[in-house]
Amino acid sequence: MEVNPLSEYLVSGVKLTKHFESRRSPIEFLTGRRPPPIRAVDGVNIEIQRGEILALVGESGSGKTTLGRLLLLLEKPTSGEVWFDGQRIDNVGSRTLRAYRRRMQMIYQDPYGSLNPKLRVSEIVSEPLRVNGIEVKKDRLAEYLAVSGLRPPEKFLDRYPHELSGGQRQRVAIARAMILEPEFVVADEPVSMLDVSLRSEILGVIKRFNQMLKTSFLLITHDLAVAAQVSSRIMVMYLGRVVEEGDTLGVLRRPKHPYTQTLLSVVPRLGGSLPKTLPKGEIPSAKNIPSGCRFHTRCAYALPVCSTDEPELRLVDGSHVSCHFAEQILSGSTKQSTS
Amino acid sequence: MSLLDIENLKVYFATRAGIVRAVDGVDLNVGIGEVLGLAGESGSGKTTLGYALMRVLPRNAKLDGRIIFEGRDLLSFSATEFNRVRGREIAMVFQGSMNSLNPVVRVEDQVAEPLILHGGLSEDEAKKRARELLAEVGVSEDKAKSYPHELSGGLKQRVAIAMAISTRPKLLIADEPTTALDVVTQAQILRLISELRDRFGLSVIMISHDLSLLSEVCDRLAIMYAGKIVEVGSKVEVVNTPEHPYTQALLASIPSVERVGVDSPSIPGEPPDPINPPSGCRFMPRCAYARSECKEFNGYLYELSSTHRAACVLVGGKPIERVPR
């Protein structure tokens, strides 16, 4: 096993790439041609520090969920490396990997689909303990339910999922993910199915566990308002690549990449109005990624060079940005083409 | 001018556990060409109100009150009479309707089908019209020939909207039209609905739990809690000077990109049991300003301005008399 004891990061991905094979169309089948692969994640470097909440933001189809699954090794990378606690873990055997599994967990989007309807809350939350041969103490279950906001916990221990509201279910799902005191948790859109009025509270639960157990979180979301509340850093993905990465305040107050600016402009604001310019069309297919800068087909600032040269991530005003014209856009010397 | 006037509307469901008062005495009106936002948490009765307007309720539902649409009392209509209103004058984009498209029929044929069956068009005319309708909602001609699984969520929602407006209805009810869509697509769909209003003078009732989203596209906002409207007013009145403590709490709870690193205060407690709602003000058990009078409160909407009303004893306005009938 490769070891890097000097790593300051808990989790990191190096040039992570995941290509899925797409199904052959009838014509491709007859001609024997191979369809182009779906390039879900395409050479991403990511580092997560101990105890931090990193928000991974992008539209569906940007590859953010796949990246989260790669870091948990729920998906095997096509190429690249995954490191956890100073050790490379993407090339180890399944038995070695199992020891790491309980140190990382996942929280899913759908609290209606992720809880076993036949188990009581106490059984759902204690299951990870039983699977790992750890004694189940009722006090511990009660404590985790209480931190998750299910108070008094005794009232909830014997309930079934169908007796709970969506918000309560998600609290149970979080308690279950946290009970093994994992060091790293991927939370995939944990609040997007909940009422807006509940979101802040559930994010507060995640923050509480983050402070209590010093757990690192990768918070996957398409909503920058969610990232604003709890994350310390934001990473923005578009079509399998990172387009901007920086501390939360810097990304939200001075977004440099046109895509980040777009995402920020479409976040609904109380008493606001719809943005005057919206990006053209939809995110292209990961099977057919545009040449040059992947965003150029929808970018209001695009110039000829954008369709030929793919920009590298570089440091601009405190954030890492992959845009040829980040400085000009930031200073306002580049004109937006009207769409 | 009012297109729709809802007066003291009640929708009760008889269940084994008791009577569920999903909608319990709602007064609301929608003007011609107006977009009204109906906001509330899950279970507040906002979708049931939409179903009542379309009269698509299960058998155990009991309807009471008046729904006046262009001067006609729709609740006095027989089921057959109402068939001429439903889908033609009042149409609804149901929550998740983009996922109920027929998977084995090309989308332009799906849009054409009701035009043949109900619009009396020939097959060729209907197809031509379907393509026009799809173009109106931003579905290109080559996409119109696709099957639903070949389209993105945003395009499927556009198809669902095209079907709803194919009869040129006067009122469109859109129930959570953008949930499960991405933020960018969401903004595109909201803009489409705004454009349809501008182009056709369509009136819209937009139902959502997301007040910030509604506030971007609606002219007026109505806040629903436990089957009742607790506040209604222009978008500016409700967002900038909310009078009902529930509206205030709901507004404060919304995460915002402006508030970096700050938790928005949540609303304590849970919504009430719809079978046994608390007497008096239904928000009282969760309200920070609750006092003894709240137990006797009858739910009157006090008038704060010609457009702004709130149902709270602490509001300094005067009670509005119900129209005697």
Copy the structure tokens of residue A202: 């559930």
Copy the structure tokens of residue B301: 């909407």
Window from A2-11, A31-40, B86-95, B115-124 with minimum mean pLDDT: A2-11
B163–A contact, CB cutoff 8 A: no
Question: Is A252 within 8 Å of B260 when comparing Cβ atoms?
Answer: yes
For the sheet with B61-69, list strands across it. B18-31, B2-15, B61-69, B72-73
Residue in chain B closest to A274 (alpha carbons) equals B216
> What pLDDT, on the 0 to 100 scale, is given for residue A333?
75
The CB density around residue A87, as the number of other CB atoms within 10 Å, is 16
Of A201, A224, A230, the CB nearest to B266: A201
> What pLDDT, on the 0 to 100 scale, is given for residue B147?
95
Amino acid at A187: A
Largest CA distance in chain B: 68
Copy the structure tokens of residue A10: 């808990």
Report the Cα–Cα distance between both ends of chain A, in Å, rounded.
53
Question: Is A268 within 8 Å of B239 when comparing Cβ atoms?
Answer: no
Helix (H) or strand (E) segment spanning residue B251: helix B245-252
The CB density around residue A337, as the number of other CB atoms within 10 Å, is 11
Report phi then psi at A159, rounded to 5: -85, 160
Distance from C-alpha of A294 to C-alpha of A279, rounded to nearest angstrom: 14
Question: Is A228 within 8 Å of B260 when comparing Cβ atoms?
Answer: yes
Averaged pLDDT of chain A: 93
A86: Cβ–Cβ under 8 A, 6 or more apart, which residues? A3, A4, A5, A6, A7
DSSP B140-199: -HHHHTS-GGGS-HHHHHHHHHHHHHTT--SEEEEESTTTTS-HHHHHHHHHHHHHHHHH
Q: Which of B154, B135, B157, B155 is nearest to B146 (CA)?
A: B155
pLDDT in tens, B251-304: 999 999 999 999 999 998 889 999 999 999 999 999 999 988 899 998 889 999
Report phi then psi at A276, rounded to 5: -70, -40
Q: Which residue has the tokens 């499960």?
A: B180
Give how far Cα B92 sits from Cα of A138, A141, B35, B182, B203, Å.
Answer: 49, 45, 14, 22, 12
Per DSSP, B113 falls in state H
Copy the structure tokens of residue A238: 């578009």
B318 three-class SS: strand
Q: How far is B217 from chain A (nearest CA, A)?
A: 7
**Does residue A221 fall inside a structural domain?**
yes
> What pLDDT, on the 0 to 100 scale, is given for residue A255?
95
Instruction: Provide the residue range defining the domain that includes A20.
Output: 9-103+182-271
A112–B contact, CB cutoff 8 A: no
Helices B153-165, B107-117: crossing angle, 10 deg rounding? 10
Amino acid at A286: A
How far does CA A153 lie from the centroid of its chain?
30
Q: How far is A5 from chain B (nearest CA, A)?
A: 32
Distance from C-alpha of B300 to C-alpha of B279, rounded to nearest angstrom: 14
Q: Which of A246, A238, A323 is nearest to A283 (CA)?
A: A238
> What pLDDT, on the 0 to 100 scale, is given for residue A235?
98
> What pLDDT, on the 0 to 100 scale, is given for residue A1?
67
Distance from C-alpha of B182 to C-alpha of B176, rounded to nearest angstrom: 13
pLDDT at A5 over 70: no
Amino acid at B238: V
Of B153, B191, B210, the CB nearest to A268: B210
For residue B225, the cross-strand partners are B228
Please count the structural domains in chain A.
1
B247 three-class SS: helix
A339–B contact, CB cutoff 8 A: no
Which is more confident, B158 or B315?
Answer: B158
Residue in chain A closest to B235 (alpha carbons) equals A271
**Does residue A220 fall inside a structural domain?**
yes
Count the alpha carbons within 13 Å of B227 in the hemisphere toward its beta carbon: 23
A244 three-class SS: strand
Residue B317: pLDDT band (50, 70, 90) is low
Amino acid at B229: I
Distance from C-alpha of A56 to C-alpha of A236, rounded to nearest angstrom: 6
Mean pLDDT of B100-129: 92
For residue A184, the cross-strand partners are A104, A216
pLDDT at B324 over 80: no
pLDDT in tens, B20-37: 999 999 999 999 999 999
Which CATH fold topology does B2-89+167-319 show? Rossmann fold (3.40.50)
Q: Which residue has the tokens 């507004």?
A: B251
CATH code, A253 = 3.40.50.300
Report phi then psi at A205, rounded to 5: -65, -45
| Burial of A254: CB neighbours in 10 Å, binned 0-12, 13-18, 19+ | middle
List the domain boundaries for chain B: 2-89+167-319, 98-166
B224–A contact, CB cutoff 8 A: no
3-state secondary structure A117-180: CCCCHHHHHHHHHHHCCCCCCHHHHHHHHHHCCCCCCHHHHCCCHHHCCHHHHHHHHHHHHHCC
pLDDT at B316 over 80: no
| Burial of A285: CB neighbours in 10 Å, binned 0-12, 13-18, 19+ | middle
pLDDT at B222 over 50: yes
B261–A contact, CB cutoff 8 A: yes
Per DSSP, A266 falls in state T
Residue A339: pLDDT band (50, 70, 90) is very low
Distance from C-alpha of B208 to C-alpha of B35, rounded to nearest angstrom: 13
A184 three-class SS: strand
Copy the structure tokens of residue B253: 């709870």
**Does residue A136 fall inside a structural domain?**
no
Mean pLDDT of A280-300: 91
Distance from C-alpha of A159 to C-alpha of A149, rounded to nearest angstrom: 15
Q: Which of A19, A142, A36, A5 is nearest to A70 (CA)?
A: A19
> What pLDDT, on the 0 to 100 scale, is given for residue B322?
43
B54: Cβ–Cβ under 8 A, 6 or more apart, which residues? B86, B90, B92, B173
Q: How far is A116 from chain B (nearest CA, A)?
A: 22
> What pLDDT, on the 0 to 100 scale, is given for residue B98?
85
The CB density around residue B52, as the number of other CB atoms within 10 Å, is 24
Question: Is A203 within 8 Å of B263 when comparing Cβ atoms?
Answer: yes
Residues in chain A: 339
pLDDT in tens, A79-92: 999 999 999 999 99
Sign of CA dihedral A161, B52, B14, B295: positive
Q: Which of A279, A285, A281 is nearest to A240 (CA)?
A: A285
Copy the structure tokens of residue B145: 């020939």
Distance from C-alpha of A128 to C-alpha of A140, rounded to nearest angstrom: 13
Q: How far is A72 from chain B (nearest CA, A)?
A: 25
> What pLDDT, on the 0 to 100 scale, is given for residue B319?
54
Asked if the peptide bond before residue A258 counts as cis, ω within 30 degrees of 0, the response is no
Torsion of CA B249, B96, A62, A58, to 10 degrees: -10
Mean pLDDT of A303-326: 95
pLDDT in tens, A34-79: 888 999 999 999 999 999 999 999 998 899 999 999 999 999 999 9
> What pLDDT, on the 0 to 100 scale, is given for residue A280?
74
> What pLDDT, on the 0 to 100 scale, is given for residue B156?
94
Copy the structure tokens of residue A206: 């995640």
Q: Which of B259, B262, B217, B222 is nearest to B244 (CA)?
A: B222
Residue A337: pLDDT band (50, 70, 90) is low
Residues of A in contact with B191 (CB under 8 A): 274, 278
Q: How far is B137 from chain A (nearest CA, A)?
A: 13
Residue B114: pLDDT band (50, 70, 90) is confident
Report the Cα–Cα distance between both ends of chain B, in Å, rounded.
22
pLDDT in tens, B33-88: 999 999 999 999 999 999 999 999 999 999 999 999 999 999 999 999 999 999 89
